[in-house]
Every structure is written in structure tokens, then in C-alpha cells.
Structure 1
């Protein structure tokens, strides 16, 4: 829901509210199609020109197609492709002519976390990755991100769920992250609570990307502590979701929750986007007045001596041993 609400807001001025229509929407790791259907739900049955999805697993691919039809999406209103997004084996996304390139007003995705892949020399020359470099073999997170981002329209919004590692890992991922930041494409970083998904208990983040964004800062939202705890899985309640979306929409700052961070500060941190560097949820400890504490201890000690003296006086009258 968070992703679908974010991508349907006006890309340049989110505070103006939802767009009236999206020409084309893409989820390149669509699973059963739930994210795409959530976007459609935000804008209504006629709010999207066409829905595009891609899924590698044949069973889930068939489920996505069935899901579209069951939710009243006509077969002329969606196109789901069975294939591998990382290899970009979908013909309509392989157009080399920029004027004929298919782009999307909204892109949502929840790809497999830290997926192992085979970054070949051929992929290194691929138009999606050539300007940024390849994601490491051990984690295709940025490969998924760059795949989607390549097809984002100039006025589009992309929201993708990724593991926190993409925010701070070094090497090839640091180079990709740095270029995305320097080029002004990372708009918002949202930290979510741990244990939200059945598949993993690790905390995840949402990256919001734009080709053209107005603010020259990055909005950090640390929502890690805003959830309802469950026995096996934590949940985001409507009020938690509304708070995240409203903070993004109006770019609001709030102590221990959200902050707009300048590119200068991010540069000083070597383009590390670790959320806790910028928005810590730790409560500030009260300062201790050592002089006041010392005076109080002296007063207590004085009262102890007075009480001991009085007590010894009673003991003396009773003919008992005095205390030291």
C-alpha cells in the first residue's frame, strides 16, 4: 500500500495529491500481481492506461494473469510477461531507439532480496547498467533497481523494496549508489520495521527514485519503531502507513522520525545512506548535574550520621552495644 500510494502522488509536487491518470505502470518482479492491483485500486478502474508485469516463476506468472482477470482487469488492459528481468528477455523492453523506448509513469517492485546472479561482460555493456556498472554477483539488488529505473519516465516515480544493505555496502554497490545520488535520482529513503514479511525477518527499506526531482536533498523516514507487534510477524497499521505517506507527501520533518538531509552532508558521509546516521530513534539521555548529585549525597550522609547518633543514644540508655 505504501508503494502504491507514493507512486500515484504527483511526482514533482506530491503535496498536490494524486495524479488523475497513469499511462503505464510496471512491476518487473510482479509475483501474483498484488502491487500492480494496489496501484490500480488507488486510481480506480480507469486510472491506468495499461498495466505491465514480469515474473520469472511460471506458476506465479499464471497466478498474476488470473489475478488480473479476477479483479476485473480486461485482457487488453494488462500484459504480464514470463521471463527474467535481469536478462531483460522481454522484447518490448529491448527497443534500442530512444524515441521508441517504452517508459512508465509508475514503477513498483519487491524483488528477491540479495539474489545471486551472473553478471557477465555482455551485461556490463547492457544499456541498463553501462552508465552505473554491475551489481555484485552476491546481491542483485541494484541490478533490479537499475533495470526498473531505466524505464522510468521523466515525470515518473519508482518505489522499490530492498534490504538495508543497499544503503551502505561498499564496492560496486557504493559506486552505483553514489552515481544515483550525484545525479539527483534518489528522492526518499524509508526504513521499515523488521519482520514484516513471511520470507525474511530482516528490516527492509523503500527507495523512492525520480528522473527529475525538485528538492536538492534526500528525505529520510525512520519508521522502524512504528508497528504493531505480532507473534510471528509484525504489522503496519493504517495509521503507520498514513504517517509514512503523509511525511513523504508533505516532506515533513519530525524528531526521531524524519529529516531532510542535504547532499553536502551525505557527501561528507561518503554517500552512505544508513538511515540511523541521519535519523536516530535513540532517546536523548537527560544530562546529570554532578554538583547537585554530590550535594544530595552529602546531605544524605549528614542525615545518616545524625540518625546514627540518635540511635546510639537510645542504645546507651538501654545498656546495649553502640553501632559503629
Structure 2
């Protein structure tokens, strides 16, 4: 599928959303359309794999609207089903029973068959609990097919679902099936929902331009960025992963297909499900990723609390766009928490450094971490000043990148990216001021491709540029009380032009002659009219 077709497919599905928005509120509709889109992807992928597995034995159905080909094969080959499904689990890591394949469900919707609703319920449970080796419990929990939002009675709900599935099916039918395109279209839909559903709902998605900067930085060689991108992805974690788009962007940038497991954590259950769906939509097997539903600040993920050094998890790459300056309730016991004991506990008013220290703790010595933070972490006093000072003295803050305001869907404030490393002890901190480099939009500001490339290249080659980037020595930072406020180190004010007094005098003399000539001419007219001249 071409890039233009991907965009057109995304717009077609978005127009379906507009047509059907009256059926339910925006958040509910998002959950339905994304869930059905996942079902379509899993179905097409399964049928393509089945064609390869069965070869000439794959049924040829003249009227595809009548039933899925696999429905016929299952009916005619009951003794072969176990072997077939075992092979499918080896190849694509899941099984999808024929009655739950999209073409069968779409046909039921067109016929408005009364068993559509119960079949959908069965399909979702099947995918959650039986399809994969690892269960995906609660994957479709955001969709309540028994909700009165769909209708008071079973029949009303069945009809409304029929309309919804028909519209989605019609939109998809206009485009050729391309499994690689599904993930991109899913991303497009997530971004559209994030952009159009307000700041609170926008928390689940990191805008593509910021994601591009983060993912480009962490996939450069951590110890020698100038040498270019890494060829193989090790372990990567996003502890506030939202819909998982940032993790996938990191993975996409690595050339090698032999990639490590990606780990994500998300507190909001609906968003956690979006992330799991996103992984599957991009062709990841259930063994390629681990997404945990839990509270990062409480550190409630068991695999991260492993005390055995041989089993303890650490990551080559940590990326995150956590909630900005959110309040939290640190307990007295956190002073002894392994994440904070060497730095101190972030204040109740702002958990920014708590998130940062969490990620830094689980970063490998040779790894790299890039995190989005509010500018306040650069200069706020109190506990945050003590944490910042310790991080600087330990040589962990490698680069500070100031970004423009109004880039995020969740907040209009300007943000920065902090790049941290453990084993390097730089003599300076690279500070990049890109706060004035943006393209103004109606609702959101944007970064152009050139502006993004400039930020990445400045980091990679550690370049200095007047009023844009400086390598600030640790001595100078110390003299400034370990305050990293960008304006202390980089001035973006316009340079006043040098004034040539002789040129100004000549211009004034010429101007006075012009004024005198005009006044004399005007007074001549007044004299002809018998009026007194102007002074």
C-alpha cells in the first residue's frame, strides 16, 4: 500500500468516526473502532498465514460474503484442526477460530443477524483468553456490548453494532489489504483521537515530532553518538508508555530484525489496552513485548523489584513522556527506596524527578535515557535542586534540549528533553535552545522536518551555535548554583545593530531640507489664498 493510500485509509476511517459519532461519545467510539480494526488485522493476518500453511487445500469460496474459507476447511477437516492450529501458533503465535474472523462477522452485520452481538462477545473473549500463548485478559474491557449506550434491548444493540461494523467494513473494502499498513493507520487514528479529544485524553499519545526526537537520540550509539545508529536493539523500557507509540518508534528505527523485548508500563487501564493492541497491530508477537498495568511511582511491577542480581532487569534504552508536574503522595519509607536513596525524594507538588529517578535506576551503565520534562526541573529549588545538583555532580545529565510551548496534546507549557547516561562523566553539558524554532499552528505548534533534524544533529555531533547550542562546562554550572535554566547560558535576544552616527546625521540633514522645502511650498499656496503662513 502506498503512503498516500495509508493516509486515505486513515481519513476514510476517520470520516466513518464522524458519521457515527452520534451513536456514542468520542472516547467510547474510539474504543470500538480501534478494537474492530484490531479484529480485522488479526483476521487478515491469520487468513494469509492459513493460505500459506494449507496451500492447495485452502478452500476457494466463490462468494466471500457467504462465509470465511476457513469455516469450510474446519467443517471438512475436523481431524486436522489440532495439527493446523499447533502449526499456526508456531508461525504467527495465535489462533483465531473461523466464526470470529472479520469476514464472517462483517457478513453477519450486513445481514443484521441476531447472533452478531453474542458472536462478537465470543470473539473478544476468545482473543483475550485462548488465541495467544500469553493471555490478554481485559484487552477489550473498554467495550461493553451489553451497555445501554448501544440500546436498551439486545435487538437494539445488535442493530447499532451492525451499522457500525458495516460502515467500517465499507471503508476498509476500498483499499487493498497490506498487513504492514495496518499499524501505520492505527497510529494515525490514535493521533486523531488524541488531537481531537482534549488535553486530558491527549495524555495517552506522544506527538510524532517529539517521538521522532526521542527515538532518534536513544538509537544513536550511547557512548559515541557521532558513530551513528545502533544496529541491534537491546532491551527498551517506557515506564509511562501511553498507547505505546514511542516504544514502537524506537523499535522501528533499528535496522536489525533481531530485536530485544520491549517493556512498557501504564497506569490507566484503557490506555494500557491501547498499548497492547498497538503492539499486536504492528506485527509484534506476544513474546516480543511486555506491557504492565500498574503505578510506576509505587514500583508495583514485580519483575522490576527482583533483588537477585542475576535476574535483576536493567535496560539499554529508557524513554518516557510522563505526566508533567503531577502531585503524588510520597511516604517516609521512600527515603530508603533504592531508586531515591542516593538522591532524595521529589516533593509532593511535583513527581517529575521521581519519574526521572525511576528510569535512571533501571538504566544499564552503558545505556541512554531520554525523558520529557517541564522546564521547572531545570531551576526549581528545594528538594528538586538537591536532586538536580547530585545528578550533575555524578555526571549523569548529558544534554538539555529546550522545546517550544504547545507541542503536547496534554499541555500547552514548553517542555524540555533531558538525555541522561550513567557511565560517562562529561566535562560539560550540551544545552540546546530550540524554544523559538517551531511552526505555529491553529491549535498546536509543530516542528518541521528541518527543525527536528537540526536538534538531532546538534546532539549527535555536540555542535555549538550562537544563540542555539552551547557546551557548558561543569565549572560554569557550579558557579550558577547548578541551575540549568537555559536562558542563563544561551541568549536568544536579537543583537542590536551598530549605529553609524555620521550616517544618521546625514539622513537627518536631508530630512530637514525635505521638510523645509515642503513647508515653503505649502506656505506659498496659503499666501495665494490670503492666509497666514505656517511657522
TM-score when scaled to structure 2? 0.57
Deviation readout 1:176-212 (Å, 9 max, x if unpaired) = 1111011100011111111111111111110000002
The 1:317–1:194 alpha-carbon spacing in structure 2 relative to 1, beyond 3 Å, is closer
Deviation readout 1:152-176 (Å, 9 max, x if unpaired) = 1111000000111111111111111
1:178-257 alignment, distance < 5 Å = 178-213=389-424, 215-257=426-468
Match of 2:227 among 16, 22, 33: 16
Q: Which has the larger radius of gyration?
A: 2
More deviation in 308-317 or 129-138? 308-317
DSSP 3-state at the match of 1:3? helix
Asked if 1:75 is matched to 2:286, the reply is: yes
Deviation of 1:42 after TM superposition, in Å, equals 0.5
Contact kept? 1:217, 1:260, Cα under 8 Å: yes
**2:302 aligned residue:** 91
The 1:137–1:320 alpha-carbon spacing in structure 2 relative to 1, beyond 3 Å, is closer
Match of 2:359 among 120, 132, 148: 148
Match of 1:123 among 330, 334, 339: 334
Deviation readout 1:290-313 (Å, 9 max, x if unpaired) = 565356545644675687679879
DSSP 3-state at the match of 2:303? helix
Any stretches of 5+ residues in structure 1 without a counterpart?
none
**2:263 aligned residue:** 52
DSSP 3-state at the match of 1:206? strand
Any stretches of 5+ residues in structure 2 without a counterpart?
1-211
Contact kept? 1:7, 1:158, Cα under 8 Å: yes
Match of 1:173 among 384, 391, 397: 384
Deviation of 1:10 after TM superposition, in Å, equals 0.5
The 1:320–1:23 alpha-carbon spacing in structure 2 relative to 1, beyond 3 Å, is closer
Contact kept? 1:25, 1:48, Cα under 8 Å: no
CA distance in 2, matches of 1:314, 1:66: 85
1:283-294 alignment, distance < 5 Å = 283-290=494-501, 293-294=504-505
CA distance in 2, matches of 1:119, 1:228: 39
CA distance in 2, matches of 1:297, 1:251: 48
DSSP 3-state at the match of 2:235? strand
Deviation of 1:65 after TM superposition, in Å, equals 1.4
CA distance in 2, matches of 1:15, 1:285: 36
Q: Which has the higher strand share?
A: 1
DSSP 3-state at the match of 2:493? coil
TM-score when scaled to structure 1? 0.92
Q: CA RMSD in A?
A: 2.3
More deviation in 136-145 or 217-226? 217-226
Deviation readout 1:213-256 (Å, 9 max, x if unpaired) = 26311111111222222111112222221111111111111122
Deviation readout 1:105-138 (Å, 9 max, x if unpaired) = 1000000001110111111110000111011101
**2:158 aligned residue:** none
**2:370 aligned residue:** 159
Q: Which has the higher helix share?
A: 2
Deviation of 1:48 after TM superposition, in Å, equals 2.5
DSSP 3-state at the match of 1:158? strand
CA distance in 2, matches of 1:218, 1:144: 21
More deviation in 294-303 or 9-18? 294-303
CA distance in 2, matches of 1:143, 1:162: 11
More deviation in 237-246 or 152-161? 237-246
Contact kept? 1:20, 1:47, Cα under 8 Å: no
**2:314 aligned residue:** 103
**1:265 aligned residue:** 476
Contact kept? 2:396, 2:420, Cα under 8 Å: yes
Contact kept? 2:389, 2:482, Cα under 8 Å: yes
CA distance in 2, matches of 1:122, 1:42: 40
Contact kept? 2:395, 2:425, Cα under 8 Å: no
